[in-house]
A and B are shown apart, each in its own frame.
Chain A
Amino acid sequence: NAGVTQTPKFQVLKTGQSMTLQCAQDMNHEYMSWYRQDPGMGLRLIHYSVGAGITDQGEVPNGYNVSRSTTEDFPLRLLSAAPSQTSVYFCASSYSGTPYTEAFFGQGTRLTVV
């Protein structure tokens, strides 16, 4: 199993550009989430999904869109990139059958908006 795969690993955008960060998992997990990590801030939840067709907002959703058309994929879209969205983005997935379950993380996407 590959686990959680994020692409790209690095990206530089100009202010106002749009892009999609990809996340795919092969563990048949229902739960998937996007976090951003900034220095001194830990991980903050952007959006999450509890299954295909179901998404919800996290702590810092503004400027980001998500959709979940399949169990495997959970892309994160930046509609109009801003310098404040410079961050490291992590996708995570977990099994939904019990609350006593660990999250599996991708290796992250380092995004710089200039």
Chain B
Amino acid sequence: SQQGEEDPQALSIQEGENATMNCSYKTSINNLQWYRQNSGRGLVHLILIRSNEREKHSGRLRVTLDTSKKSSSLLITASRAADTASYFCATPREGNTPLVFGKGTRLSVIA
């Protein structure tokens, strides 16, 4: 069964606005990752946050992790049309065995 569940399923915003996506997971983890998928393409890694980290930044991306609530959020600031994509959270099944993905959030940024 899938480990992560993203919320919302779909999000539509204007260019320049911030986009926030949430992810909940079920079991203990040592890290949580976020990926982006452009339409018809493979997934691309965005950021990894370790279980002992609460917040991490990368460019316009900000990820938070709350292990007590088993949840994470991805914030994209000052969104651009090029950010239009699906975003997935993923966690390792056990140790560093394959990642388990959520169903994703489909983000549309309107110019």
Q: A residues engaging B (CB < 8 A)?
A: 4, 31, 33, 35, 40-45, 48, 50, 58-59, 90, 92, 94, 96, 98-108
Partner of A100, one of B31, B35, B90, B103: B31
Counting residue pairs across A and B whose Cβ atoms lie within 8 Å, the total is 68
Question: A31-B96, A42-B88, A107-B41 are known contacts. Are A99 and B103 too (CB-CB below 8 A)?
Answer: no
Contact B97 A48 (CB under 8 A): yes
Q: Which residues of B contact A90 (CB under 8 A)?
A: 42-43
Q: A42-B2, A59-B1, A90-B42 are in contact. Are A99 and B98 (CB under 8 A)?
A: no
Cα distance, A107 to B30, chains bound together (Å): 27
Residues of B participating in the A interface, judged by any CB pair closer than 8 Å: 1-2, 30-31, 33, 35, 40-45, 48, 50, 88, 90, 92, 95-104
Listed by A's residue number, 28 A-B pairs whose Cβ atoms lie within 8 Å are A31-B96, A31-B98, A35-B101, A42-B88, A42-B101, A42-B104, A43-B88, A44-B101, A45-B98, A45-B100, A48-B97, A50-B97, A94-B96, A96-B96, A98-B96, A99-B30, A99-B92, A100-B31, A101-B48, A101-B96, A103-B35, A103-B90, A104-B45, A105-B44, A106-B42, A107-B42, A108-B40, A108-B41
Contact A40 B100 (CB under 8 A): no
Chain B residues within 8 Å of A59, by CB: 1-2
**Chain A: minimal CB distance from B23 (Å):** 11
CA distance A59 to B88 in the complex (A): 18
Nearest-neighbour CB distance to chain A for B26, whole angstroms, equals 14
Closest to B1 in A: A59
14 other contacts beyond A31-B96, A42-B102, A105-B42, with CB at 8 A cut-off? A33-B98, A41-B103, A42-B2, A42-B104, A90-B42, A92-B43, A99-B92, A101-B96, A102-B45, A102-B48, A103-B98, A104-B45, A105-B43, A108-B40
> A42 — which chain B residues lie within 8 A by C-beta?
2, 88, 101-104
In contact, A99 and B1 (Cβ under 8 angstroms)? no
Q: Closest B-chain residue to A106, C-beta based?
A: B42
Contact A100 B30 (CB under 8 A): yes
